[in-house]
Amino acid sequence: MRKNLVAANWKMHGSRSENSRLLEAIKLGVSSLDCEVLICPPSIYLEQLEKELAGTNLALGAQNAYPKHSGAFTGEVSFAMLTEFCCTHVIVGHSERRELFAESNDFVAEKFIAALEAGLSPILCVGETKAQRERGETNSVILAQLKAVVNRAGIAAFANALVAYEPVWAIGSGLTASPQQAQEVHAEIRRFLAEQDSDISKKLSILYGGSVKGSNAAELFRQKDIDGGLVGGASLNAEEFITICKAFD
């Protein structure tokens, strides 16, 4: 059975005091829900959140890591290091990593494999730009991103992973794919993976990650192939994020 999950991607936001205030409100608001909740802070705050989430029903994830176990990679952290802070998940292939840091499909696949080898569940992000959508390239772009991972990791690797569809044109823009547009892409992702292994495809959770808000979460989550959300800006507002999580109720 597919699990419902809402993941908070705090991106490069936060401070010790802000984190504590936000977490305190979130913990009170999501204490008994029908979905799993994951918090992904900047890596420098993982130790703080590990302590503050202890004993709660919230899981801890990371936003990024480097696919080598150790070495002369100044400024990077390895996937194995993340496990020392009780991380269960890690985001790979986010559009901001692909665009701002020139991460290729092959490099994302390398990260995906490294995450699994460290015992983490990767959340593989895929998505198209506005120009690509306007040219009718949405499916071809997303399938190329998926194929790069399937070809290197194998379809069996997806048994311990999640996929997040994030239309690049909707991230931070205030725009959102309509529930129907999102469902069409989610269905295409599941169809492609079903061609490789139908059982894994049926059990795979696919999150939507394009400007999820309290006002659109319920309608998005009612779609057949949308199993949750990867939430950016709205996850920095406790009331908004709690409303999104409660959409599953």
Q: Which residues are catalytic?
A: 94, 166
Q: Scanning the structure block, which residue is given the tokens 């999104």? A: 244
**Rounded Cα distance, 249 and 244, in Å:** 10
Contact 49, 82 (CB under 8 A): no
Structure tokens at 16: 């010790």
Contact 244, 212 (CB under 8 A): yes
**Rounded Cα distance, 107 and 115, in Å:** 12
Torsion angle defined by CA atoms of residues 116, 75, 17 and 47, in that order, rounded to the nearest 10 degrees: 40
**Rounded Cα distance, 111 and 67, in Å:** 5
Structure tokens at 236: 């920095």
Contact 228, 7 (CB under 8 A): yes
165's enclosing H/E stretch is strand 162-165
Phi/psi for 53 (5° steps) reads -95, -5
Structure tokens at 127: 């998505």
Structure tokens at 66: 């480097």
Q: Is 59 helix (H, G, I), strand (E, B) or coil?
A: strand
Structure tokens at 119: 């015992």
